[in-house]
Amino acid sequence: MKLYLNDLGLLCAAGNDKDEVLANLLAGERSGLIFTDRFSPGRAVAVGRVETELPEIGDDFRYHRSRNNRLLLAGLAQIRGTVERIIARFGQERIGCVLGTSTSGVRSTELALARQAENGILPGDFHYKQQQMGAGADFLAAYLNLGGPAYTLSTACSSSGRAIASARRLIRLGLCDAVVVGGADTLCNLTINGFMALESLSAGLCKPFGLHRDGINIGEAVSLFILSREPGPVELLGIGSTSDAYHFSAPDPDGLAVGQAMHLALRDAGKRPEQIDYLNLHGTATVLNDSMESKAVNALFGATVPCSSSKGMTGHTLGAAAALELGFCWLLLNSNDDTGGLIPSINGDATDSKLAELNLVRQGALLHRRINICQSNSFAFGGNNISIVAGRA
């Protein structure tokens, strides 16, 4: 059964719509990473924030009011026409909603508790539903009046990739004809200070695969697809997932399970490594992740496949990262660019020569033909790994 990614809505530090995001990625633009101490009082850190006015949530859904859900609503607005067409085609009862996130609306709780500390009571507009892990899927399903399964997966930084795998399964099992699928995560004190406690935050702008890399920048984003049997511009070709459970937060330094995830995705897609035109790396800019991933990619692809980490322009968007970076691949595959412009690996640093050799994309690099097949990697705490292959339909 062929399945297609019919449309895409996304916002991140690289831009607020498809055209803006692609243009900024190809240009290596990283001005969306800003320094602030809003989430870490006393210490300014670089974050990737969505800087645009987000849609308001009306009174009918007042218990769903959170920045995370407003971000989802902004992403939905970009694909609303396709959603309505799919609803007309299949009916609301046959459409599901599966999302990935790591923090959902926790920021709403942080702000509410701060108000309680000042005034002694929680704000009247606060509801626990705003921070529930499943809040986003509940909100979108109710907002669109969908009757299919609606749920959220949270496996840290592979969450929205797992959501895509789960959405595919719903359609293959005949439980849905289409699924609104993707992920959203928003900036909050919890994640910034949590990664600070792990000493995983960069002191400046992150440097994926850089000689002086010292940690991540955290970002926020939404990326929403319509996955269905209806022919569309991009085909979902293959998914590979593994779990090595090597350590709670550190990756297996040999990257064997990561390599297996990439191999399984290729096998599922019926493709050989040399057929991949571009690989979006997980590339967090931590010392251990980049070392492990470079070994795994080199072992499977050698130093031939053009690859890059886009996190140097967006920050690491955690539970939204897998869907966001697959979205970047979707933009390349949906482009009419006959020169094959590639997303560069931007780090403001020399590449670490001690890493296994990779064909990291330089700014302005071209494939010199249309990009036809892309692969995207996402790895998470606990060794939860996923790799996805998509192609021009």
For position 248, what pLDDT does the model report?
67
For position 244, what pLDDT does the model report?
86
The partner residues of 34 in beta bridges, in order of sequence, read: 47
Mean pLDDT, range 42-46, rounded to an integer? 96
- Is residue 217's pLDDT more than 80? yes
Nearest CA-CA partner of 153 in 179, 183, 180 = 183
Q: Which of 157, 206, 307, 329 is catalytic?
A: 157
**What are 174-213's pLDDT values in tens digits?**
999 999 999 999 999 999 999 999 999 999 999 999 999 9
For position 253, what pLDDT does the model report?
79
User: Which range among 173-177, 252-256, 383-387 shows the weakest confidence by mean pLDDT?
Assistant: 252-256
Mean pLDDT, range 338-356, rounded to an integer? 97
Pairwise CA distance, residues 363 & 291, whole Å: 22
For position 35, what pLDDT does the model report?
98
- Is residue 251's pLDDT more than 90? no
- Is residue 249's pLDDT more than 80? no
- Contact by Cβ (8 Å): 292, 253: yes
3-state SS, residue 308 = strand
- Is residue 247's pLDDT more than 80? no
Mean pLDDT, range 100-107, rounded to an integer? 96
Q: Residue 10 has which token pair?
A: 């996304």
Q: Are strands 95-100 and 218-219 parallel, antiparallel or unpaired?
A: unpaired
Q: Are strands 359-360 and 306-308 parallel, antiparallel or unpaired?
A: parallel
- The per-residue pLDDT of the chain, averaged, comes to 96
For position 340, what pLDDT does the model report?
98
Mean pLDDT, range 308-335, rounded to an integer? 98
Burial class for 338, CB neighbours closer than 10 Å (0-12, 13-18, 19+): exposed
- Contact by Cβ (8 Å): 238, 267: yes
Active-site annotation holds for 263? no
- Domains in the chain: ranges and CATH: 3-392 (3.40.47.10)
Pairwise CA distance, residues 178 & 224, whole Å: 13
3-state SS, residue 183 = strand
Q: Which of 206, 307, 316, 329 is catalytic?
A: 316
Which residue matches tokens 């499977």? 300
**What are 80-95's pLDDT values in tens digits?**
999 999 999 999 999 9
Mean pLDDT, range 236-256, rounded to an integer? 85
Active-site annotation holds for 374? no
Q: Which of 188, 282, 307, 329 is catalytic?
A: 282
pTM, rounded to two decimals: 0.97
